[in-house]
Amino acid sequence: MDRHAVTPTSKSKLARAFANVLHIQGRNRRPKSLNNEDQKVKNYIQNEEALLGQLFANISAIKAAYALLQYAQSPYDPDFILSADEMIVSELKSLSELKQCYLKDQFDDRSPEITRVIAEIKEQKNILTTYEIMGNKLDSQLKLKDSEIIFLREKLDEANKENKLLEMKLSLIDNFHLSKLSINNFTLFFRKTIKSIWSFVSLFCKEMEYAEWDLDAAASSIQPDAIFSKPNDKYYAFESFVCQEMFDDFNDPSMTKQPDIFFNRFMELRSVIPADYLARKPKSTFARFCGAKYLKLINPKLEKSLFGNLDHRNLLMNSNEYPKTHFFYTFCEMAKHIWLLHCLAFSLSPEASVFQVRKGCRYSDVYMESVNGEEPFLMSNGSSETELRVGFTVIPGFRVGKSVVQCQVYLC
């Protein structure tokens, strides 16, 4: 039920009250000498009730026209909007005419009863029109929601298929043993590691933006001679910076080359939450790796600018506790993947060794994968004039015996 609707009973009471007020206020305008005063008052009240009915009809018409105007906004229909606007203007004019009739005591030529019935019919039609418009609008919204539901269901189905495929791939890691370990296992986990690196880099850049860093200038300081073809390509510079620090000393010759030790470390850490593991084993090899890499990656000046203090650094250097922040947790998740990749690399036989390509090297799709998308295939035609060169390495690659896991490079 429309909360603005007025029932016939309430309208009748309102009309009588309204008429009584008008009667009191209009005594001075009525003739003082009347032979049939009661009949005059009765006629006056009936005319006022009829006028009030017309007023209600006009208001309902304006409401219907306004509902039509709103409906025409979405989807945008200029002709529909113009028609609704003209209806509103017309009803406002009628309202103004009613006001003038009241002020001049000029009532409808028809009997008050007929005028009142016609006004009530008009009001009911307007109310019905308003409900129809609202119903059509709700139908449109329902169809839109149905379309969104269908789209989301399709996305859910795609996600479920991807999850099943991922589960099948992960079974290669969940069910393998050291004796069955292969480069395929390593490559699969390398792809997961890249995703964790990008998650941290995204958060890292957002924190820098919040701290009002000039990201373009910062990217240029990381890769001074790089020319980025797209504005967002500057984020590859930050990814290269993070990888440079995190993969540094990956093949430390001082590390004990015992595949079973590294494989056991991998199996121990692969399914745990990094923060929980650090809390349980604050002096473990992984804990020392996390602390050392954080302190190297986030120098004091950078940490101070990001957080306004050195609490992360002080906690890592002076206690066996670790920061309980979203930033550090995201860093630990990335560090965990790199550490596990490190363990897998030393579990292989022969072991995997990391490599990067120098700036200016010719692009080779055997050793490299371009982060520039399809540009290597679109730009290169085999001539020396269009020979593509490496601007910088974004993600390092790996050699495993005679096999290669491609590095990711940004081409200039």
Same-domain check for residues 88 and 217 = no
Report the pLDDT value the prediction gives residue 136, as an integer from 0 to 100: 76
Give the DSSP letter of residue 363: P
Q: Are 356 and 407 in contact (CB under 8 A)?
A: yes
Q: Are 53 and 120 in contact (CB under 8 A)?
A: yes
Place of tokens 């601007």: 391
Same-domain check for residues 203 and 116 = no
Residue 117: which pLDDT band, with cuts at 50, 70 and 90?
Answer: confident
pLDDT digits (tens, 9 = 90+) for 30-52: 444 445 666 666 666 666 777 77
Is there a domain that residue 278 lies in? yes
Integer Cα distance of 364 and 237 in angstroms: 20
pLDDT digits (tens, 9 = 90+) for 181-195: 788 888 988 999 999
Is there a domain that residue 162 lies in? no
Same-domain check for residues 141 and 181 = no
Integer Cα distance of 234 and 208 in angstroms: 13
Q: Quick one: what percent of the chain has pLDDT higher than 70?
A: 75
Is there a domain that residue 293 lies in? yes
Averaged pLDDT, 330-355:
91
pLDDT digits (tens, 9 = 90+) for 130-182: 777 777 777 777 877 877 788 788 888 888 777 777 665 555 555 556 666 78
Same-domain check for residues 235 and 380 = yes
- 300: three-class secondary structure by DSSP: helix
Same-domain check for residues 200 and 68 = no
pLDDT digits (tens, 9 = 90+) for 345-379: 988 888 889 999 999 999 998 999 999 865 555 45
pTM above 0.85, yes or no: no
Report the pLDDT value the prediction gives residue 203, as an integer from 0 to 100: 95
* Listed residues 98, 126, 147: the one ending a domain: 147
Integer Cα distance of 186 and 265 in angstroms: 15
pLDDT at 96 exceeding the cut of 60: yes
* Listed residues 129, 147, 165: the one ending a domain: 147
Same-domain check for residues 98 and 206 = no
Is there a domain that residue 284 lies in? yes
Report the pLDDT value the prediction gives residue 377, as an integer from 0 to 100: 52
pLDDT digits (tens, 9 = 90+) for 255-313: 656 888 888 888 888 888 999 999 999 999 999 999 999 999 999 999 999 999 999 99
Burial 371-401 (b: 16+ CB within 10 A, else e): bbeeebeeeeeeeeeeebebbbbbbbbbebe
pLDDT digits (tens, 9 = 90+) for 201-227: 999 999 999 999 999 999 999 999 888
Is there a domain that residue 102 lies in? yes
Q: Which tokens sit at 222?
A: 């990381």
Integer Cα distance of 72 and 62 in angstroms: 15
Same-domain check for residues 239 and 330 = yes
Q: How many helices (H) and strands (E) does the chain have?
A: 14, 6
Is there a domain that residue 297 lies in? yes
Same-domain check for residues 112 and 204 = no
Same-domain check for residues 249 and 366 = yes
Same-domain check for residues 341 and 220 = yes
Q: Are 171 and 163 in contact (CB under 8 A)?
A: no
Is there a domain that residue 170 lies in? no
Q: DSSP readout, 93-144?
A: HHHHHHHHHHHTT---SS-HHHHHHHHHHHHHHHHHHHHHHHHHHHHHHHHH
pLDDT digits (tens, 9 = 90+) for 302-328: 999 999 999 999 999 988 889 999 999
CB atoms inside a 10 Å sphere around CB 277:
18
* Listed residues 147, 165, 189: the one ending a domain: 147
CB atoms inside a 10 Å sphere around CB 174:
10
- Alpha helices (H) in 26-77, listed in sequence order: 37-71
Contacts by 281-288, CB closer than 8 A, 24 or more apart: 282/320, 282/321, 282/322, 283/320, 286/335, 286/336, 286/339, 287/322
Q: How many domains are there within the chain?
A: 2
- Alpha helices (H) in 175-269, listed in sequence order: 183-210, 215-222, 234-246, 259-269
Same-domain check for residues 40 and 140 = yes
Domain of 198 in residue numbering reads as 176-411
Same-domain check for residues 311 and 274 = yes
Is there a domain that residue 136 lies in? yes
